[in-house]
Structure 1
């Protein structure tokens, strides 16, 4: 790519001059903000003539609003949140862009001590208890169209629990999950690390499931932007993706690098929690929790079209979409595969030959993107009526 000397070189002014050298990026205080933080702290952004201005957010709804109205140039975003914006779930449609995937795995389902004391340790045990002791059980996620909501609903339904009729689902910022579980305001939650692990470490809850059990190596957070920002700033976006690829590769290169990242993330400026908790998140083989993949040889960062399409199938399944969209056309519009490939060339990262991948989820269903409408309609447990947009 003309204008760059390569992943370790500096920027050369020319046809690829950055349209904007200082980029405002929103992040949430979660372990998987690590690529953004380390790209800034270690100077990976400077390699490409960029300056990352990281702005900490405290709720996904605030992140959504600031990204949509232009206060942020880009953001660490829930994959499903970006697709919900694209489809106009809960508001006017807004053309969005997924520039890359920031991680795979890294969310957990935690249940209350009271449920654990009653012998519940997994979804099947929860279903049995709910049948034997019927009441309104409450579970929290972080955003209605987001990853945690979709994984929580999938996990419940795989156990035979209909999340639309057998339970009440509520939305909370991830940092408030453990306290609300401890206070008895809910029976369980699904959230990203380190908040699930913190709840377990503080004994306010017990680990009942992992998102990687729902979907092994599932997409986690994405680097999201508005489509118009990506269109007006293609060189900036390529440089941004390239520097984050460098950071992701560094994170996966050695346990020692992840030790360093845990110490940095523990700062009040970032996640603001104990470095021991973050070390357990980033070095999961020591704790038995699911592995956060940041690079995976480039497979973890690639914006697979089938990943975006899966979130659309689940939003359709649970009534957030009133009809089947053109799944592939939407994913092609949102996921900036060509831009990613150009950025990967800058960073010296291999890219997959295709744009779809195949996975087997916890209920044995295979997702490969070939028949999304059929897949969305194939689930025995689903919402039978569309959700009113005012409820989202």
Structure 2
């Protein structure tokens, strides 16, 4: 089904007062300029001359494609001797396939996608590389307005309805090894629903989520923005939970490629990383920059929706579609002194634990070894050091998820096997 454009009147959107404030305060004057604090191009020489002049980077129409798009639009790529060509993709399966066949060189990728390919889950097996994180947070689980009319507006209420077994509930995610699948499964399981046994799960490309919910193909979905906001604007669904409710400051999209590409074109790889890292810095530096970013990616060649469905949630200004509004403490972030961008080994290992939990892999891998192979902390450290971006000393970090369980990467096998609700075969 064709994705539907948002046609919400601008006057009804919370982004409007903010935009007027920016203009009145004079901040809008900064939209056309670059950050004075960003060092101009002298660092390019330290990363070596790129072997390629043009790099095609695949992306899906989502708000968090912004670092790739802005690195190209603002000319950060030229500073490092490359030209980034953003290439819109139809689905995450297309991203995977085009990475493997050379149709694209790199991708704005789901964090779990390179790990799935690395292990041969759901497709060809190939050595992959996560070069850096692109963003944290900013996804959501939407439920249909039809459920809201039945009083099903919380995880507890949904569990009661699903487990009553009066009908089959259908939920959508974006790709079998996607972040969205993992957030959806984790959230449902937190409330006692086994997502692979108690309901039906389907795969739908992000831009098609709202259209499919409109015709009744699903009761809920997990997807990146702006499609949750679009569902609210079109009165199709409401936000039941944000992904940062499930895991505050979770990894989301990554800059991914094949290990073969990195080996053949190391300087090109580092040049692109540097350009994208500067774009991440730029986006998070001010409200004015975020506003410009929202205007750019809303264009038809990128996300193809209204600025008003993108901007509020980028700024952490949320409404759930049921009358609740709040300022989120963990909105989508692109930089945070490099904390967003560092390819934490523990983040990669977490996805492996969930692949094991949900039966995507049948035995326990060497969690740390796989993460070290995929997450290129060596390349990131080299690029970040050249850009004077802080690099963590410890590649592991500690997080507390919605169910109160702590993840620190220290004992991944015990962690993976510790969930009462799972789909393990052994």
| Category of TM-score, reference length = shorter chain | over 0.9
Structure 1 residue runs without a partner (length 5+): 1-5, 387-392
The CA deviation at 1:165 is 1.0
The CA deviation at 1:222 is 0.5
Structure 1 partner of 2:301? 269
Does the residue aligned with 1:45 lie in a helix, a strand or coil?
Answer: helix
Q: Within the alignment, does 1:324 sit opposite 2:356 as a pair?
A: no
Do 1:298 and 1:349's aligned partners in 2 also have CA atoms closer than 8 Å?
yes
Q: State the distance in 1 between where 2:354 and 2:43 align.
A: 42
Q: Within the alignment, does 1:382 sit opposite 2:422 as a pair?
A: yes
Q: State the distance in 1 between where 2:190 and 2:114 align.
A: 25
Output the TM-score relative to the length of structure 1: 0.94
Among 161, 165, 178, which residue is 2:193 paired with? Answer: 161
Among 335, 342, 362, which residue is 2:402 paired with? Answer: 362
The CA deviation at 1:385 is 2.9
The CA deviation at 1:313 is 0.4
Structure 2 residue runs without a partner (length 5+): 1-37, 320-325
Do 2:43 and 2:386's aligned partners in 1 also have CA atoms closer than 8 Å?
no
TM-superposition CA deviations, 1:55-114 (whole Å, max 9, x none): 111200111100111111100000111100000012331000000000001110000111
Q: State the distance in 2 between where 1:370 and 1:14 align.
A: 35
Residue 14 to residue 135, structure 1, CA distance change in 2 (3 Å): closer
Structure 2 partner of 1:308? 348
Structure 2 partner of 1:175? 207
Do 1:7 and 1:346's aligned partners in 2 also have CA atoms closer than 8 Å?
no
Structure 2 partner of 1:373? 413
Structure 2 partner of 1:297? 337
Q: Which moved further from structure 2: 216-225 or 273-282? A: 273-282
Residue 267 to residue 63, structure 1, CA distance change in 2 (3 Å): same
Q: State the distance in 2 between where 1:7 and 1:45 align.
A: 13
Structure 2 partner of 1:390? none
Do 2:163 and 2:198's aligned partners in 1 also have CA atoms closer than 8 Å?
no
The CA deviation at 1:22 is 1.1
TM-superposition CA deviations, 1:312-367 (whole Å, max 9, x none): 10011000001000000000000000100111122221111110000000001100
Structure 2 partner of 1:65? 97
Does the residue aligned with 1:298 lie in a helix, a strand or coil?
Answer: coil
Structure 2 partner of 1:389? none
Structure 2 partner of 1:32? 64
Among 10, 21, 35, which residue is 2:53 paired with? Answer: 21
Q: State the distance in 2 between where 1:205 and 1:238 align.
A: 41
Do 1:243 and 1:347's aligned partners in 2 also have CA atoms closer than 8 Å?
no
The CA deviation at 1:134 is 2.5
The 5 Å alignment of 1:336-351 reads: 336-351=376-391
Structure 2 partner of 1:75? 107
Output the TM-score relative to the length of structure 2: 0.87
Among 102, 111, 136, which residue is 1:104 paired with? Answer: 136
Do 1:29 and 1:272's aligned partners in 2 also have CA atoms closer than 8 Å?
yes
The total of aligned residue pairs comes to 381
Do 1:148 and 1:190's aligned partners in 2 also have CA atoms closer than 8 Å?
yes
Does the residue aligned with 2:337 lie in a helix, a strand or coil?
Answer: helix
Structure 1 partner of 2:82? 50
Q: State the distance in 2 between where 1:119 and 1:73 align.
A: 47
Residue 14 to residue 166, structure 1, CA distance change in 2 (3 Å): closer
Q: State the distance in 1 between where 2:171 and 2:285 align.
A: 37
The 5 Å alignment of 1:130-141 reads: 130-132=162-164, 134-141=166-173
CA root-mean-square deviation: 1.6
The CA deviation at 1:133 is 5.5
The CA deviation at 1:182 is 1.4
Residue 14 to residue 260, structure 1, CA distance change in 2 (3 Å): closer
Q: Which moved further from structure 2: 278-287 or 336-345? A: 278-287
Q: State the distance in 2 between where 1:13 and 1:221 align.
A: 28
The CA deviation at 1:184 is 1.0
The CA deviation at 1:384 is 3.6
